[in-house]
């Protein structure tokens, strides 16, 4: 059984947390995030240490305990340090450029794909000679960055024979062997 919910959350300097009913508001140098939680749970803050207490030992409360602890910790890390994800485009002729938060992607289709990224996320594209283009997503909301990255990956999923498509930097792609010629 996981005991993630029992771990306290250390609040870095410059991060303030306020609880109103079943909503927690986390403010820091990188912005502000809100997170809802079950009103049965009790949140206490003592000496920059946030703890979450569950009301009972039933299975539902045990499973939500770890979930809320992880979600609140993601908010604290997001407003203090922020999150970054990098995607690379593997394939001949694959390109990426951006005008502000509008991504222009060339992914081997007959047309370019224009993808509007939400204003909460900062997008940069980088193309170096001899290396695949890289898209970098920066922001303070881990869930939103992951959702945008998943959407970008779904535009051209990695195929297992040549390894072409959109993938995370450092992601391992399991390759399949193609057909062999009959002798």
Mapping DSSP onto H, E and C, the string for 110-124 reads CCCEEEECCCCCEEE
pLDDT value of position 68: 93
What's the CATH code of the domain at 34?
3.90.930.12
pTM > 0.95: yes or no: no
Give the bridge partners for 143, in sequence order.
none
Single residue among 80, 102, 126 that ends a domain in this structure:
80
Backbone phi, psi, residue 119, to 5°: -65, -20
pLDDT value of position 180: 81
18: containing domain: 4-80
Are 12 and 61 within one domain?
Answer: yes
Concatenated DSSP letters of 86-101: EEEEESTT-EEEEETT
Residues in the chain, pLDDT under 50: none
Q: Is residue 50 in some structural domain?
A: yes
pLDDT value of position 83: 95
């Amino acid at each position: 059984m996981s005991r993630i919910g029992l771990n306290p959350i250390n609040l870095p300097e410059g991060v303030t947390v306020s609880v109103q009913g079943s909503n927690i508001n986390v403010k820091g140098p990188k912005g502000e995030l809100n997170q809802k939680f079950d009103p049965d749970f009790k949140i206490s803050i003592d000496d920059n240490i946030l703890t979450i207490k569950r009301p009972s030992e039933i299975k539902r409360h045990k499973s939500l305990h770890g979930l809320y602890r992880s979600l609140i910790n993601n908010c604290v890390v997001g407003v203090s340090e922020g999150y970054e994800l990098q995607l690379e485009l593997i394939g001949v002729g694959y390109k990426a450029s951006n005008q502000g938060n509008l991504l222009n992607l060339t992914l081997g289709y007959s047309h370019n794909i224009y993808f509007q990224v939400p204003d909460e996320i900062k997008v940069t594209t980088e193309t170096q000679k001899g290396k695949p283009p890289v898209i970098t997503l920066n922001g303070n909301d881990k869930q939103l960055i992951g959702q945008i990255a998943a959407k970008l990956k779904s535009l051209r999923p990695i195929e297992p024979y040549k390894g072409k498509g959109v993938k995370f930097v450092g992601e391992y792609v399991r390759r399949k062997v193609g057909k062999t010629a009959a002798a």
